[in-house]
Amino acid sequence: MPVIEFAKQREYGVIINTYGSGGMGLSDNIEETYRLGADGWIFFTERALENKGEVLQQPCPVVLGGDYLSYGKCDQVTMPNTEAVRFAVGRLLDTGVRTIAVIGALPGMHGWEDVHDQRDGTQSLRIQGYVQAHEERGLTVDWRYVIPLLGWNQHGGVQAAASMLDSLPCPQAVLCLNDAIALGAIHELQRRGLRVPADVQLIGFDNVPESEYSVPALTTIDPHVDDYAKHAVDMLIERIEGYSGPARTYTTDFTVVERASTKLAR
């Protein structure tokens, strides 16, 4: 785990505490952290924080990870969600691809007005990039191909790809909002006799180790997770050791790792 590695390099230990996906999320876990005696915490939130991030005002230093606003309450590390997707989709469009599905949207995203003004949230930010890539080239998004999915895992990818193929013509390319979805989608596309990338190209997001070993190997957006973890650790230790400046936000860079599931490298 990169956070542990970078903390050890700075001669700090790491305490890990987890919370489930139900309940109130991060706020349900705060009181338990008081009993664990850490000098500071890196919090990760998978949902928007209530009360303008009041939960982040803690007696010890805090760094927030994730794709939701910290409201200036603490330092934050995040990924280039919009920029990375805009670039990857643009690469496909610039090769002449015109029908690109995106799998992993929130239910209820039926048009630009549903995401245009969103300032945080993984799905909203990545869908913004998908739309912007089209708009920059004077193209209109076919919102039928914005496929909702709550379960960001391989099974969800299988189900979403199946639902899409049962109701719509096969797109020329599919962007999945994480690699697990993409691996499931590749399985379902091939099960139906479609060739990747000859019939449909496919891109994931995260560059997990499994992506290199799928068949075909998965083209994916690498959001530089090691850099993400290093900056989270460094900013937290700076606070622990006395830095008292204004809250900072660090956004990682990204790389599109071009593999065999697309024709981008050909």
Give the domain ranges of the chain. Answer: 2-79+224-253, 81-222
Question: Residue 20 above 70 pLDDT?
Answer: no
pLDDT of residue 18: 81
DSSP string, 237-257: HHHHTT------EEE---EEE
The helix (H) or strand (E) run that includes residue 186 is: helix 179-191
Q: Are 162 and 137 in contact (CB under 8 A)?
A: no
Q: Are 176 and 200 in contact (CB under 8 A)?
A: no
Model confidence at 265, pLDDT cuts 50, 70, 90, reads confident
For residues 12-24, average pLDDT = 78
Mean pLDDT of the chain, nearest integer: 94
CATH number for 81-222 (one of 3.40.1550.10, 3.40.50.2300, 2.40.50.140, 3.90.550.10): it is 3.40.50.2300
For residues 73-96, average pLDDT = 98
Could you report how far apart the first and last alpha carbons of the chain are, in Å? 34
Is the C-alpha dihedral spanning 194, 200, 205, 207 positive or negative? Answer: positive
pLDDT of residue 22: 63
For residues 105-110, average pLDDT = 94
pLDDT of residue 35: 83
**Closest C-alpha among 259, 234, 173 to residue 5:** 234
pLDDT of residue 27: 77
Structure-block tokens of residue 227: 């850099």
Question: Residue 42 above 90 pLDDT?
Answer: yes
Model confidence at 24, pLDDT cuts 50, 70, 90, reads low
Model confidence at 17, pLDDT cuts 50, 70, 90, reads confident
Long-range contacts (CB closer than 8 Å, 24 or more residues apart) made by 231-234 = 231/77, 232/3, 232/42, 232/63, 232/65, 232/77, 233/3, 233/6, 233/7, 233/10, 233/12, 233/42, 234/6, 234/10
Model confidence at 115, pLDDT cuts 50, 70, 90, reads very high
- Reported as a single tens digit per residue, the pLDDT across 131-163 is 999 999 999 999 999 999 999 999 999 999 999
Locus of tokens 């622990």: 240
CATH number of the structural domain 2-79+224-253: 3.40.50.2300
For the chain, count helices (H), then strands (E): 7, 10
Question: Residue 8 above 80 pLDDT?
Answer: yes
Q: How far is Cα 93 from Cα 19, in angstroms, rounded to an integer?
A: 40
- Reported as a single tens digit per residue, the pLDDT across 177-224 is 999 999 999 999 999 999 999 999 999 999 999 999 999 999 999 999
Are 2-79+224-253 and 81-222 the same fold in CATH? yes
Q: How far is Cα 143 from Cα 223, in angstroms, rounded to an integer?
A: 26
